[in-house]
Chains A and B, each alone.
Chain A
């Protein structure tokens, strides 16, 4: 079975500090991995996705994530947090076959001025 675990339901960082949001997955086959962001009262928006090409994936708004098979992780990072990064972030996994996406429970990011 597939599952996604996001450690830390709430993360606070100072403006300008490193953002690190953790995501671990379990999958019986090599998965595809996604990070989505949800701003207040909006739908989810794709930040980036891993599709078995480069293990370091760059997304929008300066975010990137690295696929580490040995650690079954796909952590999201940004070198310098901005106030506009405050939002809910969701990690998701899907399989090359099938039609389900499995989402984590989300991490709420607060940026402190």
Chain B
């Protein structure tokens, strides 16, 4: 069956430009997560959606980062005025149930963002 998909797979942008990263979760999955994976770092939690609402935005690094989810499905992570330190792989994951705990997350292949 279809897994989590992300687009684009690679994005190169210039410092100061805005970028949008897209995530298509597994159909029917209630929860959706965004993570950032930097070289030599673990996965850094960014934001979590339960349905279309985001009860936990605590991981967003700055107000340049925002995310939305529509129709309980597709999510978009937007980074405004990109900086070189934003360069990383951005991973999206979805899970069937709402919330963490024991539920398994299914990850997309990620979007590699490079800010020049």
**Which B residues lie within 8 Å of A9 (CB)?**
40
Asked whether B45 is an interface residue with its Cβ less than 8 Å from the other chain, the reply is yes
Chain B interfacial positions (CB closer than 8 Å to A) = 3-4, 31, 33, 35, 40-43, 45, 48, 50, 55-56, 91, 93, 98-102, 104-110
Q: Which of B50, B99, B110 contacts A43 (CB 8 A)?
A: B110
B42 engages A43 (CB within 8 Å): no
A105 near B102: Cβ-Cβ < 8 Å: no
Contacts of B41 in A (CB 8 A): 105
With contacts A95-B100, A99-B48, A99-B99 taken as known, whether A105 is within 8 angstroms of B109 at the C-beta atoms is no
Contact B100 A45 (CB under 8 A): no
Does A99 lie within 8 Å of B56, measured CB to CB? yes
Measuring CB to CB, which residues of chain A are less than 8 angstroms from any residue of chain B?
4, 6, 9, 32, 34, 36, 41-46, 49, 51, 90, 92, 94-106
Question: CB-CB < 8 A to B106: which residues of A?
Answer: 43, 46
Residues A101 and B42 in contact, CB atoms below 8 Å apart: no
Inter-chain CA distance A49–B47, complex, in Å, is 22
Interface centre among B31, B93, B105 (most CB of A within 10 A): B105
Q: CB distance B109 to A106 under 8 Å?
A: no
In the bound complex, how far is the Cα of B110 from the Cα of A42, in angstroms?
A: 7
Give the residues in chain B near A102, CB-CB below 8 Å. 45
| Smallest CB gap from A106: residue in B | B42
Q: List 16 A-B contacts (CB under 8 A).
A: A4-B42, A32-B101, A36-B107, A42-B109, A43-B3, A44-B43, A44-B91, A44-B107, A46-B104, A97-B99, A99-B31, A99-B55, A99-B56, A99-B98, A101-B33, A102-B45
- Find chain B residues with CB under 8 A from A34 CB: 104
Chain A to chain B: the 3 pairs with minimum beta-carbon distance, closest first: A43-B107, A103-B43, A105-B42
- Interchain CB contact under 8 A, B101 and A94: yes
